[in-house]
Amino acid sequence: MLKKITQLTLLFLLLSFISISVAQEVSIDNDGTEITVYEDIISFYDPFTDVLTIRSKSFNISYQASSGEKFRIMPVFSGTKECNQELCGDFFIRVILEGSSIADYFGMTNRNLLEEFFLSSYPILFDEVRDNVSISLISNDNMGKMLMNNVTEYSSSTAMDIDLEKRQYYLLKKSSSTKVRIEGTVIEFGEEVKNHFSKIEKILFEAYAQNTNELNITNIDDSQSAPYELKWEGNIQRDPLVQPLPQNTTNAEGVISVRFQVKPDGSVGLIIPLKKMDSELEKEVQRTLRSWKFSKLPSGTPQQAQWGTITFRFVF
């Protein structure tokens, strides 16, 4: 059985998403791939290799750049179904250019330029949070059937994958607008992209639930299912933008509560233990919490540090 708090995260998501995704059509391809079609999402599962891909059914999300070009966007998850962690796979955004090739548009027409494109990182904005992402250029020849469908519908011979690290994926979900700048061109991802990723998540964790024999939904206490409980002092709620969870490497059970300070810029200041248990686990909680990042204080409010209390529950 899992002995990490990441199990609680999975449990929380399962409770939130259960009975939401209703498949419209289920079929098995000639090579044994299970294809499940939902309203605007499709999943592919290869039981022989345990490869699971969940994506939008088509490039039906579009963004028109200021220069007039129309980009077509497809949110994707690619990973495995037999997962004993919080997440076994990656989220990324596949982008094509309507009526033209991404490679031609960005001038990537020879090997040297392509290698430079692969090695470069590109700036991305999650509202006001700056970061960098890596980008890959994909041709129809190496997309595979799980991701290739509908690309040629828009007369595009190449696609571009914007790879999201786990923390970047969570930032995208929290942000009202996410923008990436590639070779001087800005592409924006708004609510439609977030909505599709939310639907992909629901299907993903339902797939994980099918693989977890020990889960008994009817006997779960909701108060114990969340990975943490967060309470603020005062009327202002600060949203966590970066929130890695502490790892229970000691295999200890119990509850740790700390009172902590959040500065106006969203960084964590002082941390005061309130409810103690295993000393190593306490250090892990404090170390992890210091790396959290919260939303900034609104400009119209006093720019003063704010206090909150967070409680982590560790169970087997």
Query: Collapsing DSSP states into helix, strand and coil, what is residue 99?
Result: coil
Cα(279)–Cα(114) distance, rounded to whole angstroms? 50
Angle ∠(242,138,174) on CA atoms, nearest 5:
20
Residue 64 counted as domain residue: yes
Same domain, 115 and 31: yes
Same domain, 144 and 269: no
Residue 11 counted as domain residue: no
Same domain, 204 and 235: no
DSSP 229: E
Give yes or no for a contact between 92 and 189, defined as CB atoms under 8 angstroms apart.
Answer: no
Residue 7 counted as domain residue: no
**The pLDDT of residue 279:** 82
Give yes or no for a contact between 156 and 102, defined as CB atoms under 8 angstroms apart.
Answer: yes
Query: Tokens standing for 260?
Result: 């902590």
* 191 pLDDT higher than 60: yes
Average pLDDT over residues 261-280: 86
DSSP 286: H
Give yes or no for a contact between 250 and 272, defined as CB atoms under 8 angstroms apart.
Answer: no
Residue 36 counted as domain residue: yes
The pLDDT-based confidence of 296 (bands split at 50, 70, 90) is confident
Same domain, 174 and 79: yes
Query: Collapsing DSSP states into helix, strand and coil, what is residue 273?
Result: strand
Same domain, 203 and 295: no
CATH of residue 261's domain is 3.30.2420.10
Q: Cβ contacts of residue 218 below 8 Å, gap of 6+?
A: none
Name the domain count of the chain: 2
Residue percentage of the chain with pLDDT more than 70: 74
- Tokens 């490869």 belong to 51
Q: Residue 231: which domain range?
A: 227-314
Residue 26 counted as domain residue: yes
Residue 99 counted as domain residue: yes
Same domain, 167 and 261: no
Same domain, 118 and 146: yes
Which of 75, 73, 99, 94 is CA-nearest to residue 157?
99
Same domain, 200 and 289: no
Find the distance separating the first CA and the last CA of the chain, reported in whole Å: 7
* 58 pLDDT higher than 70: yes
Give yes or no for a contact between 59 and 72, defined as CB atoms under 8 angstroms apart.
Answer: yes
Same domain, 206 and 238: no
- Tokens 């002995």 belong to 3
Query: Tokens standing for 29?
Result: 């391809």
* 113 pLDDT higher than 60: no
Domain boundary among 210, 238, 263: 210
Domain boundary among 146, 176, 210: 210
Same domain, 144 and 245: no
State pLDDT tens for residues 209-248. 666 543 333 333 433 334 678 888 888 888 888 888 888 8
Same domain, 49 and 191: yes
* 12 pLDDT higher than 80: no
Same domain, 176 and 260: no
Neighbours of 265 (CB within 10 A): 11
The larger pLDDT score, comparing residue 57 to residue 18, is at 57
**The pLDDT of residue 144:** 54
